[in-house]
Amino acid sequence: MANESMVNSLRIRVWDAPTRIFHWSLALAFSVAMLTSESERWRDLHVTAGYTLAGLLAFRLLWGAVGSRYARFSEFWPRPQAIIDYVKSILAGKPQHFVGHNPLGAIAIFLLLGLGALTALSGWLLYREFGGHRLGEALEEMHEAFAYGMLTVVAIHLCGVAVGSVLHRENLIAAMLTGYKERKGADNESVAGRG
d(CA 25, CA 27): 5
Q: In this structure, are residues 19 and 71 in contact, taking their beta carbons and an 8 Å threshold?
A: yes
- Helical H segments across the chain, by residue range: 2-7, 17-35, 43-66, 73-76, 80-91, 103-127, 132-167, 172-178
The enclosing H or E element of 129 equals none
- Residues 50-102 have pLDDT tens digits of 999 999 999 999 999 999 999 999 999 999 999 999 999 999 989 998 999 99
Q: In this structure, are residues 195 and 76 in contact, taking their beta carbons and an 8 Å threshold?
A: yes
Q: In this structure, are residues 125 and 146 in contact, taking their beta carbons and an 8 Å threshold?
A: no
d(CA 71, CA 194): 12
What percent of the chain clears pLDDT 90, i.e. is strictly above it? 73
Q: Does the pLDDT of residue 186 top 50, yes or no?
A: no
Distances (CA, A) of 115 to 167, 170, 190: 28, 28, 33
**Mean pLDDT within 18-40:** 96
Please state whether the predicted TM-score (pTM) of the whole model is above 0.75: yes
User: Residue 182 has what pLDDT?
Assistant: 81
